[in-house]
Amino acid sequence: MRSFHRNPEGELLRPGSDQKGYLLVGLCRDGRVHRRLVHRLVLFAFVGPPPDGHQATHLDGDRTNNDLSNLKWVDPAEWAPQVACRRGHAFTPENTITRSNGARKCRTCQRDRRREWRDRRRRAASSEGGGRD
Ligand SMILES: [Zn+2]
C-alpha cells in the first residue's frame, strides 16, 4: 500500500498490508506517519515488549489473523514451524491446505467443522417442521 488516505477531519489512516502480507496501520505523531505492524502492536499492548531477540509470530501461519490468541513472541532459535494444528492433527501434505497468504489450515478440522455445520442445519430444519417424525 503506497498511499495512505488522509482524512481532512484528522489523521485517520487506512490499514494496509506490506509485501509479505502482514497488516500495517499508520500512526500519526508530530505530523509524521509511522507505519506499524498490527500483530506487533497487539503483542506490545497485551503482552508487553518482546524478550531479547524474540520475534512476533502468527501461530496458525495466517499473517492476517491478528487475534491475541494467535500471536506470540518467540525466540527464532527455538521456534520451529507448527507441525500440528491446535487440535493435534499433523500438518502432513495430505492434511494441509495452504492459502496464498501462507496460512495453513487443517483439512481434518475443516471437514469436521463442515459436518457440524450441516448437522446443525439439519436439526434446525427438522425442529422448524413442527416436530413431525
Ligand atoms: Zn486439525
Asked if residue 77 is part of any domain, the answer here is: no
Q: How far is the CA of 65 from the centre of ligand 1 (A)?
A: 17
Q: What is the mean pLDDT of residues 104-110?
A: 92
Q: 16 C-alpha vs ligand 1 centroid, how far in Å?
A: 30
* Average pLDDT for 38-57: 94
In tens, the pLDDT along 1-31 reads 444 555 444 555 667 888 888 999 988 888 8
In a domain, 118, yes or no: yes
Instruction: Report pLDDT digits (tens) over 52-99.
Output: 889 899 988 889 999 999 999 988 777 766 778 888 898 888 999 988
Cell of 91: 500438518
Number of domain units in the chain: 1
In a domain, 45, yes or no: no
Range of the domain at 123: 83-128
Distance 32 CA to ligand 1 centre (A): 44
- Strands annotated E in 1-133: 16-17, 23-29, 32-37, 55-58, 71-74, 96-98, 104-106
Selection from 85, 22, 33 nearest residue 56 by Cα: 22
Quick one: pLDDT at residue 9? 47
